[in-house]
Structure 1
Amino acid sequence: MTGRALVVVRAGALTTVQDRGRPGHAHLGVPRSGALDTPSAALVNRLVGNPVEAAVLETTLDGCALRPRCPVTVAVGGAPCRVRVDGRPAAWGAPVDVPAGSLVEVGTAERGVRAYVAVSGGVRVEPVLGSRSTDLLSGLGPPPLADGTVLPLGRPGVPFARVDVAPQPGPPAELVLRVVPGPRADWFTPGALRTFVTGAYRVSAASNRVGLRVEGPALGRSRPGELASEGMVLGAVQVPPDGLPVVFLADHPTTGGYPVIGVVRAADLPAAAQAVPGTPVRFVTVRRRPGTTRA
């Protein structure tokens, strides 16, 4: 076997290439995309000696299996899961040397939703608008991985981290989302605004990379009709006609016509990426910090 490449033996339910995304193109109608759990993606990159912006693999629930065509160092983080190399247990949350031709198996998430797999040199698929990320909404970037896909790898950079295991936050038992109110909070009744921050919500199984959907009490509006489409930002909490909030994640649309009751602080969104269906969700109102223009 020759060449710096990685063969996808088992793609799993949904495995995509992700990096830090393509922010700055919303005026062109292009979402930012990128890894949903950005701290986990950055950590596994550091563990194998990659820069934090290198492309990794993001798995969903049931992992994947990979076979490198060259010797590599691999690190798996994010959702805790079993890792095996040629059938033997390997470390999760730490760098692992993998010989050429060996089978790396990333198992089903034991907690959480998304695991991240970094390979020394990074995944080097062709970038689109400066990013290698798969965007499920717009279709930009490489398609979701399929069995047999061959991914090119870059050249390794600095030596990988010498650690036994890197501490990582666990998936949330309760998802607490801090929300800056508005810009369309005035479209909702006073009772709905109270319900939003006191209601018992849970993560819906209909959640995906576009948005975190919740189940719980519906929010009533104070005015009829719909808005003209307006710009949407990462973390916007849009309320469609069924009254159930949707928290926009990395692949969210850049415009929308449903009112936004608030915007979740960006620091809380990685935990949303790991919240399994049924996880309790609590929205907490906070004030916009001085000097900021967004959450």
Structure 2
Amino acid sequence: MIEVLAPGPYATVQDLGRPGYAHLGVPRSGAADAAGLRLANRLVGNPEGSAGLELTFGGARLRFLSGAWIAVTGAACPLTVVSGTGAHGMAVPFWLPPGAELRVGAPAAGLRTYVAVRGGIDVEPVLGSRSTDSLSGLGPEPLRAGTRLPVGATGALAPIRADHASAGALPPPVLRVLAGPRDDWFAPGALAGLCARPYEVTQDSNRVGVRLRGTALEWARRGELPSEGVVTGAIQVPPSGQPIVFLADHPPTGGYPVIGVVLDADLPVAAQARPGDALTFRLVRR
């Protein structure tokens, strides 16, 4: 059992989401930086899709009422263990004895940090997932002081291995983009304009999408685009011309044109972008 003493600015339970329900209007959700959660789970011997904690800008304090192996990945934060012994750090498994408290500081770079516990967070699944969905409200509520989280059984898990590659430094803030499907809705040169200079991440960004400020992308058409399916990584452009990169909690459909889609491999870069950061787009060909 884990007791949340302080959740930090925003903390949720996340796994790899609930795919297959977009036709019902249900977002996939799941970890915004799925690679970070997968690594944390591997480090403690969990299946990669096990539920862990997603911390936004650190600041959490967690008490482990039972002893547990944990791993912390994603945006690197200072880690302090109260009433514990032994080494601890980012991207390595370490043991917390019963009653130990983990304090997670604020990251110097990046935004989202993942805490995996051996056995996984064992809250009740909704539509096959334990993820908190900030858009639809499905799944467990965001963490608050006093929340208690059960931990799953560990008997059938693989042994812990500490030889996984370290997460290392955050990748460069470059997002590779495939054009379309609605790039024909934009004025000539809009795609070149998207990639010409960096965009600034605004404070309105969240798990739904990264909202950007920079070169306005002008529509060539007027009128309404019928709502159509959109995917994670879609770059939707409202009439303001300021692009939005959709993240894990994006709606299943959208009514603004999508000028391009960020490659899956670069979604962790978008997920780790914090307000004030600069992001650059680079067009790639199929």
TM-score range, shorter chain: over 0.9
Give yes or no for contact 1:183–1:261 (8 Å, CA) kept in 2.
yes
C-alpha distance in 1, partners of 2:35/2:58? 20
Question: What does residue range 1-295 of structure 1 map to in structure 2 within 5 Å?
Answer: 5-86=1-82, 90-156=88-154, 157-163=157-163, 166-172=165-171, 174-288=172-286
Q: Deviations over 1:188-229 (max 9, x none)?
A: 100323211213312222211100111101111111112111
* Distance across 1 between alignment mates of 2:121 and 2:46: 10
State, as a whole percentage, how many aligned pairs show the same letter.
Answer: 55
2:40 aligned counterpart, secondary structure: helix
CA–CA separation in structure 2 for the residues paired with 1:109 and 1:87: 23
Give the conservation status (yes or no) of the 8 Å contact 2:58–2:77.
no
Maintained 8 Å contact 1:189/1:221? yes
CA offset digits 1:62-102 (Å, max 9, x no partner): 33111112110111111111111117773222111111111
Gaps of 5+ in 1: 289-295
Distance (Å, rounded) in 2 between the aligned partners of 1:221 and 1:258: 10
State how far apart, in whole Å, the 2-side matches of 1:62 and 1:152 are.
Answer: 21
Give secondary structure in 2 for the equivalent of 1:190. Answer: coil
CA distance in 2, matches of 1:178, 1:47: 28
Query: TM (normalized to structure 2)?
Result: 0.94
Question: SS of the residue aligned with 2:189?
Answer: helix
Report how many residues are paired. 282
| CA deviation after TM superposition for structure 1 residue 268, in Å | 0.5
Structure 1 length as normaliser, TM-score? Answer: 0.91
User: What is the distance in 2 between the residues matched to 1:229 and 1:75?
Assistant: 41
Distance 1:170 1:119, change over 3 A: same
Report the residue type matching 1:39 in the other structure: A
